Amino acid sequence: MPEPEPSAIHRATINAVCQSEWEAHKSDCSGFVKAVAAALGINLAGQANAIIDTMGRMPWAQLGTDMGAAARYARLDYLVIAGLKESAHGHLAVVVPSVPPLPLKGYWGSLGRIGQQDTKLSLSWRAEILPSVQYFAIKPPSQ
């Protein structure tokens, strides 16, 4: 996969959007991801599993399970979503740029609980399933 190109969006934008949307969606991972995406000019619909299906197609870049690629795209101001489909309800999180780039950090809501903000992504999934998490990236339109 080719290296991503830098975007025109300021580095703080995705973090700021996550911070502004987190309180309203801290108990709903798909609602949180949809709100962040909408604020960046990207339309997503449905619950986590449906959103993962959408991100599996163009114009989304499918990064597979490559955490390093997810970190690179996040540092270049792409909207990077971590997702894992599950039989009843999947789960999603927004990956945000961090220093150092690994471990990945992100924001997420959590159905029936309170999610986390600007926290190690490894806390969003059980350790044994974290290697199965898929990463997707899209360049938000210039704002």
pLDDT recorded at residue 2: 53
Tell me if 2 is assigned to some domain: no
User: What is the domain range of residue 85?
Assistant: 12-138
Q: Is 10 a catalytic residue?
A: no
CATH classification at residue 100: 3.90.1720.10
Number of domains the chain contains: 1
Structure tokens at 4: 């991503």
Tens of pLDDT, residue by residue over 72-87, are 999 998 999 999 999 9
Tell me if 117 is assigned to some domain: yes
Exactly one of 18, 25, 89, 91 is catalytic; name it: 91
Exactly one of 10, 18, 25, 29 is catalytic; name it: 29
**Which residues, including other chains, have CB under 8 Å from residue 94's CB and lie 6 or more apart?**
14, 18, 32, 33, 36, 79, 80, 81, 82, 106, 107, 108
Tell me if 3 is assigned to some domain: no
pTM above 0.75, yes or no: yes
The 10 Å Cβ neighbour count of residue 48 is: 23
Tell me if 7 is assigned to some domain: no
Tell me if 30 is assigned to some domain: yes
Tens of pLDDT, residue by residue over 86-143, are 998 899 999 999 888 889 999 999 888 899 999 999 999 999 999 999 999 999 997 5
